[in-house]
Amino acid sequence: MIAPYTEALRDFWGVPTLEQAQHERVTVPRDPGAWDDGHQDRVIDRLLGDVPLTPGARLLDFGCGVGRLARPLARRGLRVTACDVSPRMLAHCAAYCAGLDGIDFVLCDGWGVPAVPTASVDGAYTFYVFQHMPTRAMARSVLLDLHRTLRPGGWCKVQTVDTASDVPVTRVGFHGERQTAAFLLDCARAAGFGRLRIDVTPTECPEPIVLTAWK
Residue type, 46: R
H/E element, 67: none
Tell me the residue range of the domain where 147 lies.
Answer: 6-17+34-214
Euclidean distance between CA atoms 22 and 10, whole angstroms: 16
What is the C-alpha separation between 102 and 192, in angstroms, rounded? 29
Kindly state whether residue 22 falls inside one of the protein's structural domains: no
Of 122, 111, 150, the residue nearest 55 (C-alpha): 122
Would you state the pLDDT for residue 167? 44
**Residue 83 domain-assigned (yes or no):** yes
**What digits encode the pLDDT tens for the residues 161-176?**
875 554 444 444 455 6
Q: Is 167 a domain residue?
A: yes
156 closest CA partner among 170, 171, 143: 143
25 lies in a domain? Answer: no
Domain annotation covers residue 147: yes
- CA 64/CA 62 separation, integer angstroms: 5
pLDDT tens digits, one per residue of 88-118: 999 999 999 999 999 999 999 999 999 999 9
Q: What is the pTM of this model?
A: 0.85
Q: How many domains does the chain have?
A: 1
* In-domain check, residue 24: no
CATH number, position 122: 3.40.50.150
Give domain status of residue 64, yes or no.
yes
In this prediction, residue 80 carries a pLDDT of 99
In this structure, is residue 29 part of a structural domain? no
Q: Considering just the CA atoms, what is the radius of gyration of the chain in Å?
A: 16
pLDDT tens sequence for the chain (215 residues): 457 777 777 776 666 666 666 655 554 555 666 667 777 888 888 889 999 999 999 999 999 998 989 999 999 999 999 999 999 999 999 999 999 999 999 999 999 999 999 999 999 999 988 988 888 999 999 999 999 999 999 999 999 887 555 444 444 445 567 788 899 999 999 999 999 999 976 555 555 789 999 99
- Are the C-beta atoms of 40 and 47 separated by less than 8 Å? no
Q: Where are the alpha helices (DSSP H) in 49-196?
A: 70-75, 87-96, 136-149, 181-191
167, containing H or E segment: none
CB 61 within 8 A of CB 157: no
